[in-house]
Amino acid sequence: MSVIEPRQLHAPPVFRRDTAVHAWIAVKALSDAGDAIWMIALAWTAVQIASPAVAGLIIAAGTVPRAMILLFGGVIADRANARRVMILFNALRVVVLIAVALWVLATPPSVAVLLFAAIAFGVCDAFYEPSASTIGRQMVRPSDLPSYSAVSQTATRLGTMGGAAAGGVLVAHLGLTGSASVNALTFALVVAFIAIWLRPRFALARADREPTLRGISRGFAHLRHAPTTRTLVIALSGLNLAVGPAVGIGLALRASDEDWGAPAVGLFEALLGLGAALGAVSVARWRPHREAYAGFWALVVQGAGIAALGFSPFWGVAAAAFVIGATAGFASVLLSSTFAATVDTAYLGRMSSITRLGDDCLMPLAMAAFGALASAIALWVPFALYGAAMAAIMILPLRNRTFRTLSLRQQA
């Protein structure tokens, strides 16, 4: 496996002076803040007008259509102009949000309107995200991908955190209409930026035009013939399957079991977020020479942190939460940049959609299994099992000679 060098259209500046890319990261972070504001408004409105079960259905409604369509979105990403796809589906998001805002102005929000909005966003995500995942590869050199990923992921986390903090205040004062309008404005800004200022510097190889189902099949066949890409796809697909249930369900169970109270869960979640932000931004400052190898080792450490959540005292759980966040941010930057730099660019959209599909489809099962284990046996056991599974899975890529020697710096 080696770094794929696409044809250069325009020479990009060094990353630290690349104002166009910095502006794109800032615009995307603002859009992420708008998304967080909208999601809080959607959830709050749902619980106000419907039963808890129906509210849960509304929040999850976008997941099923997104999972069903993601692979089609990957095929389009490998054939079409990524900028045009991103503009089209962001514009559709603006239309959906404006339609919801106008509807709610005329009549009280209903379950049908909220379901429409959630499903429409899921469909747009399925087409938008595979194309958006290729834009970094078109903008920066392979050697700059870790720095790009580090800054981009940190900005996304900060945008989401800021939007979440503002979301409750906005929905309380402006309601669903105001929150939808704010998010529509952020998407409109993204559309304008992509259309006017964002210009790719590298031309990616395009997939042949063929029936869509055949294109999907060819994407899975590519995994059979590209073992190192397959390893990366499996690793990125399962990146959250161990840690997601441990922090999403497990922390609340530990706090309840130990009578630490809800504030303890908030503290642990805050430490996770802080650790993730610091772990991601650390790559831009202290970047390892062998990116993938360091990323996989970080996930071994994360496995130990997951196990520690199950039996540590309060301060130990807090420390483990910070370590899990830091290793998640660190590994995500390194592995995602290695993925973008080394996957055949004619398959990059499809490989990205497959990794996202794995998370969407398997996470509910992982959550349910963790909960079932916690109900049936001692609470520390599922933490230990999930942590051990995370560490054990990393043995395969760590034994791979390619990942032990691969460095994106060699292409600088």
Tens-digit pLDDT profile for residues 351-399:
999 888 877 778 878 888 888 888 888 889 999 999 999 998 888 888 8
- C-alpha to C-alpha distance for 247 and 388, rounded to whole angstroms: 15
- C-alpha to C-alpha distance for 92 and 32, rounded to whole angstroms: 16
User: What confidence tier does 90 reach under pLDDT thresholds 50, 70, 90?
Assistant: very high
Is there a common fold for 7-203 and 212-411?
yes
Q: How many angstroms from the chain centroid is the CA of residue 144?
A: 20
Mean pLDDT of 102-111: 89
**How many other CB atoms are found less than 10 A from the CB of residue 394?**
21
Question: 82-106 and 63-79 helices cross at what angle (nearest 10)?
Answer: 150
Mean pLDDT of 200-217: 86
In sequence order, the 6+-apart residues with CB closer than 8 A to the CB of 195 are 83, 87
In sequence order, the 6+-apart residues with CB closer than 8 A to the CB of 206 are 78, 79, 346
Domain ranges of the chain: 7-203, 212-411
Outline where DSSP puts E strands in 120-191: none
- C-alpha to C-alpha distance for 327 and 159, rounded to whole angstroms: 20
- C-alpha to C-alpha distance for 379 and 386, rounded to whole angstroms: 12
Kindly state the tokens that stand for 38. Answer: 């909208």
- C-alpha to C-alpha distance for 296 and 333, rounded to whole angstroms: 11
Residue range 7-203, CATH number: 1.20.1250.20
Residue 246 has pLDDT above 80, yes or no: yes
Outline where DSSP puts E strands in 121-215: 202-203
pLDDT digit string (tens) for 2-19? 566 666 666 788 888 899
What is the average pLDDT value for the chain, to the nearest integer?
87
In sequence order, the 6+-apart residues with CB closer than 8 A to the CB of 191 are 87, 90, 91, 94
Kindly state the tokens that stand for 23. Answer: 């502006």
The CATH fold assigned to 212-411 is Growth Hormone; Chain: A; (1.20.1250)
Q: What is the pLDDT of residue 305?
A: 95
Give the predicted TM-score (pTM) of the model. Answer: 0.82
